[in-house]
Amino acid sequence: MTNRSAVLHAAATLSIEDRPVPDPGPGQVLVELQAVGICGSDVHYYQHGRIGSYVVHQPMIIGTRQPGPWSTSERVSTRACSVST
């Protein structure tokens, strides 16, 4: 299984690549994306190849992830919960 990804290599250097999808490990879930979007940070990385002191030195997958159906290696709750950040 592969995942189509927008990969930023340097400023103004972007490719669309099929990347392998890893199997979820213990305590992890795999989210099947239905769509992704590009945020302001992604645009800045594309235009300048950096944000502040973080410079793109190796390929970086960009795109804001949107959740969709998921699978897991373990049984998890299907009830909604609150997450604090």
| In the chain, where the domains are located | 2-71
One DSSP character per residue, 2-37 reads EEEEEEEEETTEEEEEEEEPPPP-TT-EEE--S-EE
Give the number of other CB atoms < 10 A from CB of residue 4: 10
**65 DSSP assignment:** E
- The region, left, alpha or beta by phi > 0 then psi within -120 to 50, assigned to residue 63 is left
Mean model confidence pLDDT for the chain: 82
pLDDT digit string, tens, across residues 15-45: 999 999 888 888 888 877 777 888 899 999 9
Per-residue model confidence (pLDDT) at position 41: 92
